[in-house]
A and B are shown apart, each in its own frame.
Chain A
Amino acid sequence: AQSVTQLDSHVSVSEGTPVLLRCNYSSSYSPSLFWYVQHPNKGLQLLLKYTSAATLVKGINGFEAEFKKSETSFHLTKPSAHMSDAAEYFCVVPFSGGYNKLIFGAGTRLAVHP
Chain B
Amino acid sequence: EAGVTQFPSHSVIEKGQTVTLRCDPISGHDNLYWYRRVMGKEIKFLLHFVKESKQDESGMPNNRFLAERTGGTYSTLKVQPAELEDSGVYFCASSQGQGWGKNIQYFGAGTRLSVL
Contact = CB atoms under 8 A, between A and B. Distances in A.
Bound together: yes
Interface of A: 36, 41-46, 49, 90, 95, 99-107
Interface of B: 3-4, 9, 31, 33, 35, 41-45, 48, 55-56, 58-59, 91, 93, 95, 98, 103-110
Contact of B104 (A43, A46, A104): A46
A95 to B, nearest CB: 8
Given A43-B3, A90-B43, A107-B42, A101 B56 contact: yes
Given A43-B108, A44-B91, A104-B42, 4 more contacts: A43-B3, A43-B107, A99-B104, A104-B43
Contacts, number: 53
Contact of B45 (A36, A44, A102): A102
A101 B106 CA distance: 13
Nearest to B46: A101
A18 to B, nearest CB: 26
Contacts of B41: 106
A106 B9 CA distance: 22
A9 to B, nearest CB: 10
A15 B113 CA distance: 34
Contact of B55 (A44, A45, A95, A100): A100
B97 to A, nearest CB: 10
A95 B45 CA distance: 10
B43 A99 contact: no
Contact of A49 (B45, B56, B104): B104
Contact of B107 (A41, A45, A101): A45
B48 A100 contact: yes
A6 B4 CA distance: 26
A104 B45 CA distance: 9
Contacts of A99: 95, 98, 103-105
A36 B107 contact: yes
8 contacts: A43-B91, A43-B108, A43-B109, A90-B43, A100-B56, A100-B103, A102-B35, A102-B45
